Amino acid sequence: MSFIQKPGAQKAAKPRAGAVNVRSVSYSTSPLLASKTPPWRSKLLVALVGLAFCVLLGRALYVQVIGTKFFQEQGELRYARTITLPASRGRILDRNAQILASSIPTPSLWAIPKDLDTDPAKRGQLAKLLGMTAKELEGRLDDNQNFVWLRRLVDDQVAKDVLALGLKGVHQVREYKRKYPEGEAATHVVGFTDADDKGQDGMELAFREQLAGRNGSRRVIKDRLGRVVEDIGDSVAPVDGADITLSIDSKIQFFAYQRIRDAAAEHNAKAGSVVVLDAQTGELLALANWPSYNPGDRRHLSGEQLRNRALTDTFEPGSTMKPFIAAWAMETGRVTPNTVIQTAPGRMQLTGSTITDAHPHGDLTVAQVIQKSSNVGAVRMAMQFTPREMWELYAQVGFGQKPQIGFPGAATGRLRPYKTWRPIEQATMSYGYGLSASLLQIAHAYTVFAHDGELIPVTLGQPTGLVDGKVSGQRVISAKTAQAVREMLQMAAGPGGTGPKAMTMGYSVGGKSGTAYKQEGKGYATKKYRSWFVGLAPIDHPRIIVAVMVDEPRNGKWFGGDVAAPVFSQVVQQTLRTMGVAPDLEVKTQIVTRDMPAEEESF
């Protein structure tokens, strides 16, 4: 094959020496470059660039000038923290400045789950020290990756053992834990607090604000591990709560609790309560209940243990009401202590209902009606009153009225309006059926007899208006009538009465036993009883009132003179000795009479 070249072609293709072989382009004839750019396009570009600068300038102005506070706060949230400086809760003291409740610094353990060591063995050790299973620990750690409480208010040794594991992400903080030196003996009075140190029951709840104080604060910078790097700003110091002083005497409280606990065990009872009241000042010296609980360990707490039965439980007071009927009958001149009342043959009919005594007594004086606890005798006196007159008597001594002692949950009891009373209801109310009251209300009502006819205020704190160691109250009956009733109560608590087991070595006592069937549904249980004894000592110048209630004694005895009266005797003796009251009786004569059999009580 051969190629034919035109003349001159080879010459044209031969490059010149040193020249670059580039295809020749004519820029002047390029259609792209030859076209003219519209003016608005360049102006738009310049405008967009200018607008972008304006937006950046505006944002910088907002961040640096207008929104400075917001962004500073947001920045601080990443590194600054406010640490609460807890205030120490105030103490609760008894009348002798003995501590009933106080707060002590206690370690609490917390963790940052996302930082926590994942070694299963170490986590297992941690769970064991915290008293939980590995599964429980893992469940708690899954709640929040930034913060969880592992265990609050632990023992110092537990905290040391946990920190000794060297687990990353586990930390300790100090909080306050409440301590109750008197334990279960005083817990129904003192109450308890929750994990945040807030009052939940008793005086802890009643005086929550006064005891709580005011927490302080401290602004700090922390690193990601929760360690404080430095302080910022000023700290606010905490203000500790104020102490409160109760009228309770811890020694009397403890002894009363022991006695009611032992009596409940002896008689296989469901529960029991004791109230000890200063008859001259109205101060509550003891409020003891069984069953009780340890306020420092409430893991298995039940409602039965929690109730302050002396204040919250109401019941029909039974024969303890009879002295008020006798007192008013004497006060209004209807009878004297020696007026004879016909009670034979031990029963009476009233509007188709039968009222009975435990056994026939025949003719009884008013004093003997109280001594023998005759239902028939009490009804014959009560039916001389108008319903309104009897209602006013009961209302004056505090029945159907809420006790003003500042204790949460104190019961009012029940006293129905007199306009609705039927004759049989008025009759049964004379011996304590058809109305209800708490043990505290009954003890309070008996101040009328102990304080020469005056009903005095009851308090759990310091009494006001003391004059020569006494307070004045509301006059209900005369001092002469009160003295006559005290003599009747002494007969009831002595030989031939329903409560000789209430007699106390060295001290004269007077009181009234009570026994009543328990309500069950719309009627009464035939084999369930409440037994109580309420009285005062010494008789001539009473210093204390003691009320005892035993709920459902189930060991073959149920009369108040057999079940509650011995507790009364023991508590009276210990209390008067603790108060330094001198004995007013010869002991020898009492040794012969103290174990005499009790008169069977009508109820």
Report residue 370: phi and psi, to 5°. Answer: -75, -40
Mean pLDDT within 319-325: 96
Could you tell me how far CA 318 lies from the centroid of its own chain? 29
242: left (phi over 0), alpha (psi -120 to 50) or beta: beta
Token pair of 395 as six digits: 């209302």
Residue 503 confidence (pLDDT): 93
319 is catalytic: yes
CA distance 132 to 447: 53
Residue 3: pLDDT over 90: no
Packed helices 250-266 and 565-578: angle between N→C axes, nearest 10 degrees:
160
Lowest mean pLDDT among 47-61, 91-105, 220-234, 331-345: 220-234
Angle, CA 123 vertex, CA 118 and CA 129 arms, to 5°:
160
CA distance 94 to 102: 12
Q: Where are the beta strands (DSSP E) in 182-327?
A: 216-222, 228-231, 244-245, 271-278, 284-290
- Average per-residue pLDDT in the chain? 86
Flag whether the pTM goes above 0.75.
yes
Mean pLDDT within 551-563: 89
Burial of 223 (0-12, 13-18, 19+ CB in 10 A): exposed
Mean pLDDT within 272-293: 95
Residue 86 confidence (pLDDT): 75
Residue 289: pLDDT over 90: yes
For the chain, the domains span 83-245, 250-295+314-593
Residue 2 confidence (pLDDT): 44
Residue 100 confidence (pLDDT): 95
Structure confidence at residue 223 as a pLDDT band (50, 70, 90): low
Token pair of 399 as six digits: 């029945």
Burial 352-362 (b: 16+ CB within 10 A, else e): eeebebbeebe
pLDDT tens per residue, range 534-551: 999 999 999 999 999 999
CA distance 495 to 492: 8
* DSSP β-bridge partners for residue 437: 315
Residue 5 confidence (pLDDT): 47
Residue 8 confidence (pLDDT): 47
Residue 368: pLDDT over 70: yes
Residue 250 confidence (pLDDT): 95
Measured distance between the N- and C-terminal CA atoms of the chain, rounded to whole angstroms: 149
Whether 250-295+314-593 and 83-245 are alike in CATH topology: the answer is no
CA distance 282 to 247: 9
Q: Check if the beta carbon of residue 424 is closer than 8 Å to that of residue 449.
A: no
Residue 218 confidence (pLDDT): 73
Question: What percentage of the chain carries pLDDT values higher than 90?
Answer: 49
Residue 578 confidence (pLDDT): 95
Residue 12 confidence (pLDDT): 47
Homologous superfamily (CATH) of 83-245 is: Penicillin-binding protein 2a (Domain 2) (3.90.1310.10)
Q: Check if the beta carbon of residue 422 is closer than 8 Å to that of residue 414.
A: no
pLDDT tens per residue, range 458-479: 999 888 777 877 888 999 999 9
Mean pLDDT within 451-458: 94
Of the residues 103, 273, 319, 430, only one is catalytic, namely: 319
Q: Is 241 helix (H, G, I), strand (E, B) or coil?
A: coil
CATH number of the domain located at residue range(s) 250-295+314-593 in this protein: 3.40.710.10
Q: Check if the beta carbon of residue 505 is closer than 8 Å to that of residue 518.
A: no
> How many CA atoms, within 13 angstroms, populate the side-chain half-sphere of residue 433?
18
What is each CA distance from 92 to 213, 242, 253, 457, 473, in whole angstroms? 14, 9, 15, 22, 28
Q: Check if the beta carbon of residue 204 is closer than 8 Å to that of residue 460.
A: no
Size of the chain, expressed as the number of residues it contains: 603
Q: How many CB atoms lie within 10 A of CB 574?
A: 19
Residue 590: pLDDT over 70: no
Residue 25: pLDDT over 60: no
Angle, CA 472 vertex, CA 446 and CA 432 arms, to 5°:
20
Mean pLDDT within 400-427: 92
